[in-house]
Amino acid sequence: MTSKTPIAQLGAEVLRRQAQPVDDFASPEFHKLIETMHATMLEANGVGIAAPQLGASWQVLIIASRPTSRYPHAPEMPPILMVNPRFEIIDNSLHKDWEGCLSVPGIRALVPRYLAIDVHYQNQQGELCRLALQDFPARVFQHEFDHLMGLVYLDRVENNQDIIAETEFFKRIAA
C-alpha cells in the first residue's frame, strides 16, 4: 500500500464486511497500513479514516478532528490511532448532525449519534488505552467504528430527506 491507495467507494464489498481484529502488532503490513491511512486521510481532508476504506479488513481507525475544507468548524485535536476499538455509551441521548464520508463523495446527511462515549482500544504497540470522547470527536469515532462493523453513515439516517448534496451542505453552513 502507498499513500496513493484509492479509497473504497460505496458499493465496494470491503465496506460491508465486518473487520477482523489485529493480533500481530509487529507486522510490517500493519505498520504500512497505518502510514497509508494517515497519508490518505490528510490528502483527502478527512477527519477520520478506517482500514476497510483502504481495502484492509482490519479493526484499525484514526480520528483526527481539525478544521478542514470539508469540516471548517471541527475542533482541533491530535490524530489518534485506535486498534481493536470498543466503546461504551456515557450519555444515551442521541444528537443529529451532518456527516460526510470519503467513501461516499458528494453527499451529506443528518445522522443521529451519541454525544458522549468511553472508548477502549489498543495503540500501535498493542497497549490498552481508554479515552472519553464527546461531541464532534465522539461522532467521528462512531462514524469510523461503523466502517469496522460493515456499516456506512447512510445506514444510520432516519429519514431520506436528511440526505443532501454536498454543494447544498456548504451553502447551509456558509449562511
Question: Of these residues, 43, 76, 144, 166, which one is catalytic?
Answer: 144
- What is the rounded (10 degree) CA torsion for 128, 131, 102, 125? -20
| Rounded CA separation 21/85 (Å) | 9
> Which three three-digit cell numbers place residue 87?
466503546
Consult the annotation and say whether 101 binds a ligand. yes
Rounded CA separation 40/32 (Å): 12
The partner residues of 113 in beta bridges, in order of sequence, read 95
Task: Please measure the distance between the N-terminal and C-terminal CA atoms of the chain and give it in whole angstroms.
Answer: 41
Residue 147 assigned to a binding site: yes
76 is catalytic: no
Between the alpha carbon of residue 41 and those of residues 89, 101, 118, the distances in Å are 26, 11, 24
Count of positions (residues) in the chain: 175
129 is in an annotated binding site: no
Residues serving a catalytic function are 144
Annotated binding site for Fe cation: 101, 143, 147
